[in-house]
């Protein structure tokens, strides 16, 4: 990955990628993933984070990266397709161990190495654990926080420049309180098919509200990952569903309530001990082979 001088908001637009899956049943689906870097001891593990249901029944997973020029500047209109085929999906995808947490990580170190070996340098931005609020930061949040969600609603994107769609909203429940007793909260934002896996940020420039009053400065936090949406059925029932990932023409029988469910970003840290075990096994295997 290369870097250039960019504003924080510009950098955020380069943290996500549009995930396209060819499904085992012959269909296709789209969702959102974002680049995240785990630090396991002295080893950096690059991954894409998304929802489990985004890659369910996938025969192949594709995401698109931008190339860079000789100065490391992002080339908007030059892309490279990164593919993970069926034979490698089970090795690359690690699902969150809690069945109620709709998160998974896709390890991409091998994919990136193959692209580099082919002589291509790519551009994107990693998020990391420093953006996940600690206990004190969670407690300092207010019930009403402005949020930004970045992703690919209805599969919509700037395909020429490989850029996502950014949307604003508000927290609809207190983000520090476990909604319905789970590590999640609700946002008031338009959530559509393809939004699955979208990162939800607090991004304030200049000033922001705290329980103690107005604070000056810039605040950036990764609050969570969108995974579900409330739907209002034409029968009058209100149900919670995974955000759809397929784009197809159907008769409208459900109406979004513009209320999305977000898993808290702190659940990302649950992957660290899993990755530690994997890294240690690889170290042991190398040592034993000598």
Assessment of whether the complete model's pTM goes beyond 0.85: yes
Q: What is the pLDDT of residue 6?
A: 77
* Residue 109: φ, ψ to 5°: -60, -45
Q: What is the pLDDT of residue 258?
A: 83
Q: What is the pLDDT of residue 1?
A: 45
Residue found under tokens 């170290």? 283
Distance CA 264, CA 98 (A): 13
Q: Which residue stretches of the chain have pLDDT < 50?
A: 1-4, 247-253
Distance CA 10, CA 245 (A): 26
The domains found in the chain, sorted by start residue, are: 8-128 (2.40.10.10), 130-267 (2.40.10)
Task: Quote the DSSP letter at residue 54.
Answer: H
* Beta-sheet strands, E only, within 87-190: 93-95, 104-107, 122-123, 127-128, 146-151, 165-171, 184-188
Cβ-Cβ contacts under 8 Å for 166 (sequence gap 6 or more) = 12, 13, 148, 149, 150
Q: What angle do CA 94, 12, 42 make, to 5 degrees?
A: 50
Tens digits of per-residue pLDDT, 139-149?
999 999 999 99
Pairing of strands 122-123, 58-68: antiparallel
Distance CA 163, CA 14 (A): 7
């Amino acid at each position: 990955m290369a870097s250039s001088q960019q504003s924080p908001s510009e950098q955020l637009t380069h943290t996500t990628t549009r995930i396209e899956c060819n499904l085992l049943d012959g269909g296709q689906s789209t969702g959102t993933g974002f680049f995240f870097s785990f630090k396991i001891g002295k080893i950096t593990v690059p991954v894409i984070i998304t929802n489990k249901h985004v890659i369910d029944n996938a025969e192949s997973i594709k995401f698109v990266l931008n190339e860079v020029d000789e100065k490391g500047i992002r080339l908007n209109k030059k892309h490279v397709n990164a593919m993970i085929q069926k034979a490698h999906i089970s090795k690359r995808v690690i699902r969150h161990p809690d069945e109620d947490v709709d998160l998974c990580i896709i390890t991409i170190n091998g994919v990136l190495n193959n692209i580099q070996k082919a002589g291509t340098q790519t551009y994107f931005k990693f998020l990391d654990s420093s953006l996940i609020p600690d206990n004190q930061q969670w407690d300092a949040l207010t019930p009403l926080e402005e949020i930004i969600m970045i992703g690919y609603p209805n599969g919509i994107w700037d395909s020429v420049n490989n850029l996502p769609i950014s949307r604003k909203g508000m927290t609809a429940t207190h983000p520090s309180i476990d909604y319905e007793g789970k590590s999640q909260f609700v946002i008031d934002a338009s959530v559509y098919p393809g939004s699955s896996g979208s990162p939800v940020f607090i991004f304030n420039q200049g000033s922001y509200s705290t329980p103690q009053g107005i604070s000056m400065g810039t605040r950036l936090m990764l609050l969570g990952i969108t995974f579900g949406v409330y739907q209002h059925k034409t029968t009058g029932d209100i149900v919670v569903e995974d955000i759809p990932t397929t784009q197809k023409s159907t008769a409208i029988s459900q109406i979004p309530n513009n209320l999305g469910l977000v898993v808290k970003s702190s659940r990302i840290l649950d992957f660290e001990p899993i990755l530690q075990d994997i890294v240690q096994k690889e170290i042991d295997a190398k040592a034993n082979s000598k």
